[in-house]
Chain A
Amino acid sequence: MSDHVESDAHAENTQSCHVHIVPVKVLVGVFLALVVLTVITVEAAKYDTGALDVIVSMAIATVKASLVVFIFMHLWYDKPLNKLAFFFSIVFAAFFLCMILLDSHAYDNYVKGFTEDKTPEFLVKEPEAAAPAAAPAAATDAKPAADTKAAPAEKPADEKKPAASEKPETDKKTTPETIDKTDSK
């Protein structure tokens, strides 16, 4: 961008502020590009490309986001420090996402098992046949308090309970510890 207008030509020392000013043409151009990309992403979503779907739509979104960040938000012309700050936020967010994604599949089965054991009535899915039985419970709007009454009996030490009781691999190792604890109660 050769268009480097300094706002404020005449100035006493303190009354000047040098910034980059983006020309109107560029602004409107970016907007039009963004609209075109929106149309493309909507159209692209109509074709079933399987797993590629997410990738394509995220790629387009990222292109759009970069346009906004670099032009509308002036990051392209901004100080390196501000660039760095924004860059780091993305890196940290990405790292966070990767780790929890990586991990969530590992224990998914335990959670599923738990869900199947303890699902409250209102969530139980009602196929036509089961409907009469389950429906009254749903309709009477069972109060959350009702099924939590029993809960306070289990102390917060139960935090890791689902894990401890549903984790086959480490069972052998945790047993002595678990015994220890129940003993000391």
Chain B
Amino acid sequence: MNTAATTTTDEHADSHDHEHHDPRLAHHFDSHQQQFDTGKLGIWIFLVTEVLFFSGLFGFYAVYRSLHPEVFLYASQFLDTTLGAANTVVLLFSSLTMAWGVRCAQLGQSRGLLVCLVTTLACAAIFLGVKSFEYTEKAHHHLLPGRAYQSPEHHDAAAHATAADGETAAAAKEAEAAEASVHGDHGDESLFEKTKHTLSYMTTVLWGVIVLSGIAFGLLFKNPNKKTLATIAGCVLVSAIGMQLGAFSSIGYHQLGHAEKPTDEEIELAETVPAEYAKQKEKIPEPMLARTFFSVYFCMTGVHAIHIIGGMIAISWLIVRTVHGAFTTYYFGAVDFVGLYWHLVDLIWIYLFPLLYLIN
């Protein structure tokens, strides 16, 4: 046993100080390499827990799909493949910029890093914007999990009943009452208007956020003492603009998709049932547990969206640190680790997209 090492401590009591004056190196590590490797193993193990966390959701998906394939076949048609695919590409692009950002960090190019991170943040926000459009649209059609779900067939029948013979059937009355209570008084707006209307709460708030954070950013930008605040304002600004972009472009896409001279009947259908469904020639009958699909859909995409939001916070934190010049060629672990997390979130979406949107 080596005793000398542990006996003569007095002289060395302060010795760790002069080895470790580097503020970027935590006191319990010997070198940056060790610190980096430690962090890297740590983040990988964290990703392992994430994979297992999602495996619960995928397990739940797999069990229900194998038990009730008809439900998935039926309900997946209500998801808009184009929007899903567009979102996939947006996320993939954000992954590219993230990986590029890591490269910049490794090479010490802090300007490049900043650009990459901001782009990633914006892409994440666009993704969320599109997603909130999709959610709103689902909510409009009562394609919600659990109790809130209402059968689209029901709408269909109700609409026809009302059109055909006024308010004869009790069913139609009930249905309409339910309809009216949910839609409030927007009965005669077009579907897209309705969706836009609901979204408009979000978009209005976002406009407010954009203006405020824009002003804050403008005011603080020049002040060297307020770098952190200015950067945070900038991050909020970028996120809000991104979401707005996502929301509006999906609204625009939706309007575009239906601009080509619809027949009266089609308009009628479009008012009451989701567009994707209305297009179907032969309708698949609605299975009993159709609502389960929307449980799966909202749980999986919801948890994924929470991860996106977490990632956006982490990326903003990176941006703040980048602005302060925290990263160097030998200290860029944080960028790498957040990057790994971000890629994992992307990875999960890569599986979610075909599993939810592409069921034929």
CA distance A90 to B330 in the complex (A): 31
Complex Cα distance, B331 from A22, in Å, reads 17
Whole-angstrom distance from the CB of A26 to the nearest CB of chain B?
9
Known contacts A14-B25, A82-B40, A92-B52; is-contact A24 B103 (Cβ 8 Å): yes
B154 to chain A, nearest CB (A): 7
Pick the contact of B147 from A64, A81, A122 — CB < 8 Å?
A122
- CA of A21 to CA of B359 in the docked complex: distance in angstroms? 38
Q: How large is the interface on B (under 10, 10 to 19, 20 to 34, 35 or more residues)?
A: 35 or more
The answer for the CA separation of A19 and B157 in the assembled complex, in Å, is: 63
Contact indicator per residue, chain A 109-122, by CB within 8 Å of chain B (1) or not (0) = 00000000000001
Stretch at the interface among B57-65, B186-194, B197-205, B253-261: B57-65
A-B contact count (CB 8 A): 193
Q: Are B350 and A65 in contact (CB under 8 A)?
A: yes
A58-87 interface mask toward B, CB cutoff 8 Å, 1 = contact, 0 = none? 101100110011011100001101100110
- For this complex, into which size category does the number of interface residues on chain A fall? 35 or more
Report A-chain residues with C-beta under 8 Å of the C-beta of B343: 68-69, 72-73
* B residues in contact with A22, CB < 8 Å: 99, 103
Contacts A15-B32, A45-B354, A100-B59 given; indicate if A132 touches B107 (C-beta within 8 A): no
Contact status of A135 and B175, CB under 8 A, knowing A11-B330, A15-B330, A42-B81: yes
Determine whether the beta carbon of B81 is less than 8 Å from that of A97: no
Check if B347 is an interface residue, CB within 8 A of chain A: yes
Q: How far is the CA of A24 from the CA of B98 in the complex (A)?
A: 12
**Which of B100, B103, B174 is A135 in contact with, Cβ under 8 Å?**
B174
Q: Give the CA-CA distance A85 to B353 in the complex, in Å.
A: 25
Closest Cβ of chain B to A3, distance in Å, is 11
List 6 tightest A-B contacts by C-beta distance, closest first: A93-B55, A131-B171, A57-B354, A45-B358, A89-B48, A31-B96
Seen from chain B, the residues whose Cβ lies within 8 Å of a Cβ on chain A are 22, 25, 30-33, 36-37, 40-41, 44-45, 47-49, 51-52, 54-55, 58-59, 62-63, 66-67, 81, 85, 88-89, 92-93, 95-96, 98-100, 103, 106-108, 147, 151, 154, 157, 169-171, 174-175, 177-178, 286, 288, 291, 329-332, 336, 339-340, 343-344, 346-347, 350-351, 353-355, 358-360
Given contacts A17-B36, A73-B343, 18 further A-B pairs with CB under 8 A are A16-B33, A19-B106, A24-B100, A38-B89, A46-B360, A53-B360, A65-B350, A68-B95, A68-B350, A72-B98, A86-B51, A89-B51, A92-B52, A93-B55, A131-B170, A132-B170, A139-B174, A141-B147
